[in-house]
Structure 1
Amino acid sequence: MIDFFKKYPFRRKTWKKDFPLSYEELCSLRDGIYYAFDHWNDYGYRTLYAMIAKIDGDIYDCGRLKISFIPYRHEEEIDLQSILVQEEGYNLISLGNKEYYEFLNNFLSLPEKDEYFKKMGDIAYDLNRLDESIKNDSIYHPIEEYYLLKNSFLRDVSLSEIRNQLHRLSIGGKYIDEYQISIIDKNGNNVLEFRKNPHSLEYFPDTLYAIVGNNGAGKTYFIKNLIDLYIKKNSDLFNNITSNINQFESIVLISYSPFDTGIIKKDSENYKFIGIDFNKTTSLEDYITKEIKTLFTEATTPKNESRTKKIIDKFSFDPLFIRILPLIEKRELSEDIINELSSGQKIVLLSLLNLIIKVFEKTLVIIDEPELFLHPPLLKAYIRGVEEIVEEGNGICLLATHSAIVLQEVPNTNIRKLKYDFESHEGSIVKLSSKTYGESISFINDTIFGTDLRNTGFYKVLQDKIGEEQISDNFEAVLGSEARIILRLSKELKTNEED
């Protein structure tokens, strides 16, 4: 038997709602790894165990473990210590989460982990065991129409995450990996490059990217071609041979616009659409309420609960979101509370719950016009929430936007401006030279939209009234700082011309 588990054995506890145990409780207990059968029900399967350890007086989070006999034994709790003591192996499969494998990496050597994982039938460590389990999943009698591996072990984790992140972690590597993905156009130009270096000691905001441009510049067309390049391996804009977009494990598109045509709205294994298919939806309000209610239950499973709390807490400035926080532990959100939410609040909640469930390692999340329906504080919190979810999965988020508020959150190195000439019918993609991260909204608007912006709105009114010399004292009294600067400069220019 492994020496570590002789000194710090698994010790079974009775499940309580507030498990893991409190710090005060643990202080009074002997060293060991304490675990409890969660009783969480995955379509009839109960395989989840919560764990926490006390090692030489220090407390460690061991995460959560799913483990089952093959075939599944109904309602039977597994004695983890007896598995390690017995010379003869049991026919088991098991799968931990990130914290579980990190804990084992801290205390077990490679040979010890090899022995431990083989005893436990770990499918992240032994990918042959995973493939065998997939192959045999339908052999054993399912509970109704549900299967042990598919509907319990894989309920809140993807095969991609097991084969990549969790496998890499189980053998002593990093949970997340460095990568670089280039999008090359038909002329061989590198129009967009996504870089992730999660191991860098220096902070750089490398999760958010953006495309920006006037209406008609081709943002939706750009998105459509990016998705076609990934799914169909073919694109009107990009070179499918030299572009390496297939390094992404999946793409998630968020779009609530009723006017986006040609966008794929049907989910597949590595592509998910978050939004509303207006061709299929009869009652929009009923659809959104039902979706939020269903997603909330899924986003508050043991795996997702802490992340959901952390993301919702970012909206603590909003009284309705504050009311949602304590409901996460109850794993139920009533229709009455959902119906109190505004359109913008519903869109934010619907999007974030979807992302919590659907974002895994190296996911490209594309959001078309994130500013729709949202006032500035809600928009800022939404962008930060999205960034945190995507960053945790070592992914990238591409924002297609008109909003300077959004661009304040993205470095100019990660932004591309789309231009389209309606006379020549030619488009172009250019880099931004001016800084945007933390820059003022007026400066960003002027940089992006420039002359077009200055020929509209209050700019145009001022130009006309200055030309007509119709600036009254009453009008001047209501002018803001930028308008007063324009007025003063215009007066100085006119004086200089007269001189």
Structure 2
Amino acid sequence: MYESVFIVESRPVNEQAVRREMERRRLVDAVVIYRVSSDEFFAVAYSSYELTEFGPIRIEFYARSNRERITPDEVTARLSGDERPDQVFYLLSQNSQVSFASLGRELSSYRKIVNRLHTDAAIQFLVSIRDMMALKYYMPSSSEINSPSFNRRLLRKLVQSPEEIQIYLRGHQILTDLEAAAITSSKPRLQVRFTARNGYRSDVDFQFGTVEDLGARAAVLIGKNGIGKTYFLRQIATLMLGPSHDLLSYYDDAPFRASRLLCFFTGPRASRAFPRQTSQRRLHGYKIFNLQSDTRTASISVINAIVDLITSDQFIAGQKRFEIFRNSIKSARKEQPLYVWHEKFGPIDLMLLEIHEREANVIVEYCDNQGYRYKHSIQDFAFSLDSARGIFSSEAGDLSSGEEAYIRFCVFSSLYIENGSAVLMDEPEVYLHPQYIDALMGALHRLLEMTGSVAFISTHSAYIVRCAEEQLVYLMRASLHSHPSGSDVEFTKPRMRTYGADVGMISLFVFGEDEMVTTEDRARAYARRISGGDSADQVVRALETITSSDLISRIVNSYAPHP
């Protein structure tokens, strides 16, 4: 099956021409590869009754005789001698001068091909296009895998992004239906070298739990302003973006390596926590999002992202990305509507949108405020949305800053997360009411559990700390004693169970007992001014009608003699 593989120069590929060529050659099935950019291709599997597209993929061509590299521009010239002069389809057979190896660029492409062709046919298709992951597990004796030097050369060309690393190492889990089981059993670990302000370094170990544990996939960094939380977050991001380990010496218990890196901040300026987002890094799965409404031309429009969610045919843990987004919205907003503005029909509630796939077309069914229902293609629907009005609850611009921040997180995280991602968040509590902080952490945990991903969060909020297990809460503070590494910053763990704890107790035992020192000093000065004295009894009388009993107890206890 899929023994005949052709490469064509034309784009898009004419299906009728392919069928005629198959009939001429008396083929039941075939694979046609076409080029879409300088380093990207698509492969289409044709059978007697359907076609299935796979891509984007990278392809490395080489001469069969001496394994010399051949550029894509040279391929058809090399093959033209084997075919008639007017040939459009160039056959890549066992006898051709040219051979090749390939690798898909997105995990979702492999899920799609398995879903469309089913496992056995998908494996045969991938082997036919010399997919390196499929060859590794199903044809290990092939020259692309069996020759170490040749294998290394191919991998250097084909594996260039973190997601492609995950495809080569773990893509077979998709083909064997073991992806969900692998996510359930994984317990990622990571060691990050922190460089303190005095230049000394110390290693910080992160050991995450399984996705079935409670709050064990998100590490929380806390500490006073200036201690280095933002800088440490940047070091984690830099590590994730760094060069990969040698794929030939990979072992099962290797440190965590993210397939994608999604970073979130809130504010008018880009966060210093994250390295610069270059075009190359974006292509490799590195994305930075502002949870505050961002009007810069380089920012990704929320409306465009929502359209991408609606049109996406990708599944994560058995759910389409748009459904993951809607479930996250419902967890915080319940049955409240969330509108976009249609230029002809006015407000359209995204929560009531229905999406139908009809062969190659996607149909959107929706209703206006009068209850009239409409059906249009996704292209017509998307073209009619007014991106300037954004998203709203009842009228344009009525969402609070906190509501908008939460919705933006749900949109971008649902659209871009992939299995094995790393999510970095720099003080996400900005603008958020405690209810929305809890909802945001709930949405984050669900995504991490669905995808086997991990998160690193820098925060000053006790409401975020109470959504993480204490073994993943890292308190950064100035070293009280000489640290073995010489660092002036040390990392400690809380002395209490943090998940679901009272925020007051977290403030006292996690953030430290001096978090109210200014308020306490002001109350003490007020008591002296009112009572004319500073004794415990005078403080009580002056403050008992205007301050909390907790604050009075703190001040009174400070008078008690210390052993």
Normalising by structure 2, what TM-score? 0.55
Structure 2 match to 1:294: 304
* 1:169 and 2:174 aligned: yes
Contact 1:274 1:351 in 2 (8 A): no
Could you tell me whether the CA contact under 8 Å between 2:421 and 2:451 is conserved in 1? yes
Secondary structure at the counterpart of residue 275 of structure 1: strand
Using the aligned pairs only, state the percent identity.
Answer: 15
Aligned to 1:230: 240
Query: What corresponds to 1:139 in structure 2?
Result: none
Shift of 1:192: 2.7
Gaps of 5+ in 2: 2-10, 16-28, 35-41, 53-92, 94-103, 137-161, 195-199, 245-252, 315-320, 340-348, 356-363, 365-377, 532-538
Q: CA deviation at 1:431?
A: 1.8
Give yes or no for the alignment of 1:461 onto 2:472.
Answer: no
Asked if the contact 1:363–1:393 (Cα under 8 Å) also holds between the matched residues in 2, the reply is yes
Match of residue 30 from structure 1: none
Q: State the superposition RMSD in angstroms.
A: 4.9
Inter-partner Cα distance in structure 2 for 1:362 and 1:215 = 31
Counterparts of 1:465 and 1:418 in 2: how far apart (Å)? 34
Give runs of aligned pairs for residues 47-196 of structure 1, distance below 5 A.
70=32, 97=111, 113-114=119-120, 116-118=121-123, 127=132, 159=164, 162-163=167-168, 166-175=171-180, 176-177=182-183, 178-185=186-193, 190-196=203-209
- Aligned positions of 1:381-400 closer than 5 A: 381-400=439-458
Cα distance change, pair 373–183 in 1 and its aligned pair in 2 (3 A): same
Deviations 1:469-496 (CA, angstroms, capped at 9, x unpaired): 55798964454xxx223325756887x8
Deviations 1:228-282 (CA, angstroms, capped at 9, x unpaired): 2333469xxxxxxxx965633332221234374373131414452323599xxxx
Paired with 1:96 and 1:291, the residues of 2 have a C-alpha distance of 28
After superposition, the C-alpha distances for 1:315-362 in whole angstroms (9 at most, x for unaligned) are 224845484322474465643352523333333222322222222122
One-letter code aligned to 2:241: I
1:209 aligns with 2:219: yes
Deviation of 1:407 (Å): 0.7
Contact 1:404 1:441 in 2 (8 A): yes
Query: CA 1:455–1:284 in structure 2 vs 1: closer, same or farther (change >3 Å)?
Result: same
Worse-matched range after superposition: 253-262 or 299-308: 253-262
Match of 1:15 in 2: none
* Aligned counterpart for 2:470 among listed residues 409, 412, 418: 412
**Separation in 1 of the partners of 2:473 and 2:242?**
25
> Is 1:313 the equivalent of 2:330?
yes
Gaps of 5+ in 1: 2-42, 48-66, 84-90, 105-112, 132-156, 235-242
The Cα shift of 1:423 comes to: 13
1:417 touches 1:430 (CA, 8 Å); kept in 2? yes
Q: CA deviation at 1:369?
A: 0.3
The 1:337–1:82 alpha-carbon spacing in structure 2 relative to 1, beyond 3 Å, is closer
The AA in structure 1 aligned to 2:178 is G
Q: CA separation of 1:270/1:390 partners in 2, compared to 1, >3 Å: closer, same or farther?
A: farther
Structure 2 equivalent of residue 324 of structure 1 = 350
Alignment check: 8 A CA contact 1:98 1:166 kept: no
- The aligned amino acid for 1:215 is N
Greater mean deviation of Cα atoms: 372-381 or 362-371: 372-381
Given the superposition, is the C-alpha separation of residues 206 and 246 from structure 1 closer, same or farther in structure 2, using an over 3 Å criterion?
closer
- Who is 2:426 aligned against? 368
Conservation of the 8 A alpha-carbon contact between 2:193 and 2:201 = yes
Q: Which letter maps to 1:390? A: L
Is 2:552 the partner of 1:487? yes
- Residue of structure 1 in register with 2:410 after alignment: 352
1:313 positional shift: 1.8
Query: Relative to 1, partners in 2 of residues 1:209 and 1:356: Cα closer, same or farther, differing over 3 Å?
Result: same
Distance in structure 1 (CA, Å) of the matches to 2:208 and 2:481: 35
Q: Distance in 1 between matches of 2:123 and 2:322?
A: 29
The answer (yes or no) to whether the contact 1:367–1:399 under 8 Å persists in 2 is yes
What CA distance in whole angstroms lies between the structure 2 residues aligned with 1:254 and 1:261? 11
Residue 435 in structure 1 maps to residue 497 in structure 2: yes
Q: Give the match's secondary structure for 2:492.
A: strand
Q: Deviations for 1:408-452, whole angstroms, at most 9, x for unmatched residues? A: 100111110111369998212222222211111111111233243
What is the CA-CA distance between 1:402 and the residue it aligns to?
A: 0.3
Change (3 A) 1:70 1:409: same
Q: What does the per-residue CA deviation read over 1:193-223, in whole Å, with 9 as the maximum and x for residues that have no partner?
A: 132434xxx6432211100001111101101
Q: Describe the shift of the 1:250–1:388 C-alpha distance in structure 2 as closer, same or farther (beyond 3 A).
A: same
CA contact (8 A) 1:366 1:398 kept: yes
| 2-structure distance, mates of 1:124, 1:398 | 38
In structure 1, C-alpha distance between the alignment counterparts of 2:331 and 2:500, rounded to whole Å: 19
> Does the 8 Å contact 1:292/1:349 carry over to 2?
no
Range moving further from structure 2, 399-408 or 418-427: 418-427
Distance 1:448 1:435 in 2: 10
